[in-house]
Chains A and B, each alone.
Chain A
Amino acid sequence: MHLAVSLNIAAADGQDVLDFGQISTFARQAEAAGVDMVIISDSLTSGEPSTSPFEATTLLAALATVTKKIGLVASASTLAHQPYNLARRFASLDIISHGRVGWNATLRQSPLEAANFSRPAGIPNDDFRRRAEEFIGIVQGLWRGWDADALLFDKAGGRFHDPAKTHVLDHKGEFFAVRGPLNVARSPQDMPVLAMSGLAGADLDFAAGVADVIAIEEPSPEGARATCDDLKKRVLTAGRTPDALKVLTTVFAPDLTAARLEAWLGTESCDGLIFALPADLSAINGFTDRIVPELRRRNSDRSAYYADTTLRAHLGLGDGGAQ
């Protein structure tokens, strides 16, 4: 069973925010409990005004230097970034973290965003979705731009890399034209992990074809099982093996009674769980005091976790499509 923690560091306006020390302590406690990854978001999906001390990808870079094993995933919007820039950022984070990084993408726009990114009239949801799909394809394409053996480092011969092992993308689509290649080396885990969340029914076939992780929300383990089975069928239809996608159910950690926790942990409803936490110190402390000991008890042999080096390895995912 895979275990993740999702932490939204945005607080409603007027509420206290977490500082870097509190967030990094929390990440290290989750790491010590053998949690596969922490997923960081920096704005409220409700669209309410909020305050966050950090932007998620920059926070991830700092967290990468104070943790060793835990996967680090950041939410980043396709409206707030250009695909070339975002591909570079996650590729860089992946090298900084030695292969522990993922991007949490969504196909559902945040209601606040368009107006702050020079689209005062907004963007229709359907356009947003098609644009996000194109965006994700570009980012994954750019991540494949350098072959794993492209770098030669041949000082005497004067050959830094092999130009035959870099590839232009030359993407020309409905919303973007991107030539490439990326100016960041290939990821230590081949490609950063692509997680997707907040998906509508119409998004599922696309997500099943490209995502490594899909986060679902279901009130019961039985409902989660059914949704998981449906997604795995779609993965097969997309021509991938069912294990190429991990489906994790999001549960809101502060609401979990001991009985509910036992029910979720005791049922193989899916590939695993994501414990969602708000930017609240008492909620975080509640998680580390109450749930972490339970995870450690169940997961007492963490030798495999400490032997693995990358997020893909923690999640039991194959490589990201090396050719």
Chain B
Amino acid sequence: MSARQMKLGLFLWATGHHIAAWRHPDAHVRAGIDIDHYIALARTAEAAKFDMVFCEDAAGLREANVNIASQTSRSIGFEPISLLSALAAQTERIGLVSTASTSYNEPYGLARMFASLDNLSGGRAGWNLVTSASPIEAANFGATGLRPHADRYARAREFATVITGLWNRRPAGHDGESFSVRDPLDIPPSPQGAPVMVQAGASDDGKDLAARTADVVFSAAQTFEEAKAFYDDLKARLTAYGRQPDDVKIMPGVAPIVAATKAEAQAKYDALQELIPDNVGVALLSSYLSISDLGRYPIDGPLPELPESEGMKSRQALVIEQARRDGLSIRDLARYFAGARGHWRIVGTAGEIADELQARFEGGAADGFNVMPSWFPGELDAFATLVVPELQRRGLFRKDYEGRTLREHLGLKRPA
């Protein structure tokens, strides 16, 4: 297969990415306490030849308001490195990528966890570096307040330097601002050399760190233009670090709803949207905008003027731009946003969805996509049985794995 191939990740999230997924009549409501559910999802993705499954993470509840939290399924779930270690024993080929925080771990400890996952899976592990922007998480780690954005990224940069040094057997010994490590790693390298480095930060600091250290970048972009701008920006930053454009794969999130006809797909989407309680939608939007009191504004009115947040600068800008562009009320935006959490939503037939993915892939706006099914297992099954064969028919996606490791799937070099 000579033509450039699309990369596909399956973004796992308990009952599904839609905030009301758990209320869908066919959604598996006990997903967050059922390992067999995750094994089945990973095997479905592996049978469809996905490059990887990916787990997002937060070391704390996702919603401070307990009444709002209790109307969603997001307060409980598996710690993802444990989850993926279990999946490693139950899958053969698919990559296993987990999020972990540089703010609440030590590099030597995290290096051991991922090196172990990498060995358990025969070279299929990846680490998604996050700096953790939530004050709820901070309160579980002795902090009285969230550290400023710039400080978190300084720590993250040092963390990335130390952990890649440990994985790549660079000479031992580090004594820096945030960390010190004396010994080499006591876990030997896997067949892929070192876990794949993933990042999703879209701020200036985040993009620079990604350009310096990441193999894969997850992003969020609604329009082709936004996706293209992000793609060009990030690839351009690589030269400053002596890297080639192909050294980093950019994979925007996509939340597809697919059915045999567009009308059927739209009906599936509308039915899910109806399951979102207003207070939950507004709370989710507030949390993404990093403000706590969006609920005090009229729900049918426009989004108020907002100060720049310390938590998620880039995501906030994305959401605000969306609202202004489409003239949305708070309720409109909350519902729209709750459906895909700021990611790109496509509702349509397999052919229509493949068209859209192909346009971004061939138009220089993506190297692949991180697929976010609205609810599990149904929307993953629909994507795997309808969209993947269409992509394969067009020669855009592999019909079988060529390699055994995640680096081989992604076409990445072994680390030096």
Contact = CB atoms under 8 A, between A and B. Distances in A.
Given A61-B86, A62-B89, A96-B82, A151 B116 contact: no
A178 B143 CA distance: 9
A95 B120 CA distance: 20
A117 to B, nearest CB: 5
B404 to A, nearest CB: 15
Given A49-B186, A183-B75, A163 B67 contact: yes
Contact of A55 (B79, B141, B187): B187
A183 B82 contact: no
A162 B141 contact: no
A252 interface: no
Interface stretch (A153-161, A223-231, A289-297, A306-314): A153-161
Q: How large is the interface on B (under 10, 10 to 19, 20 to 34, 35 or more residues)?
A: 35 or more
Nearest to A98: B35
B73 A180 contact: no
Interface in B256-298: 275, 277
Given A65-B35, A177-B142, A53 B187 contact: yes
Interface stretch (A84-92, A193-201, A266-274): A84-92
Contacts of A185: 32-33, 76
Interface string B1-39: 000000000000000000000111101011011010001
Q: Is the interface of B mostly helix, strand, loop or mixed?
A: loop
A221 interface: no
Nearest to A77: B109
Contact of B140 (A63, A64, A180): A180
B222 interface: no
B117 interface: yes
Contacts of A181: 61
Contact of B35 (A96, A163, A177): A96
B77 A183 contact: yes
A31 to B, nearest CB: 15
Given A58-B116, A81-B109, A96-B86, A88 B79 contact: yes
A49 B179 CA distance: 21
A155 B77 contact: no
A43 interface: yes
B355 to A, nearest CB: 34
A43 B119 CA distance: 16
A289 B246 CA distance: 53
A52 interface: yes
Contacts of B187: 51-55
Contact of B73 (A53, A95, A156, A160): A160
A92 B76 contact: no
A54 B125 CA distance: 13
A89 B81 contact: yes
A118 B79 contact: no
Contacts of B144: 177
Contacts of A302: none
A179 B108 CA distance: 25
A176 interface: yes
A133 B142 CA distance: 17
B188 A51 contact: yes
B333 interface: no
B118 to A, nearest CB: 10
Interface in A159-217: 159-163, 166, 176-181, 183-185
Most buried by B among A58, A63, A92: A58
B72 interface: yes
Given A158-B71, A160-B70, A183-B62, 19 more contacts: A43-B186, A50-B186, A55-B115, A58-B85, A65-B90, A80-B109, A80-B112, A88-B79, A96-B83, A146-B76, A151-B76, A155-B22, A156-B23, A161-B70, A176-B142, A177-B142, A179-B140, A183-B76, A184-B76
A-B interface, 3 closest residue pairs, ranked by CB to CB distance from nearest: A61-B85, A55-B116, A115-B182
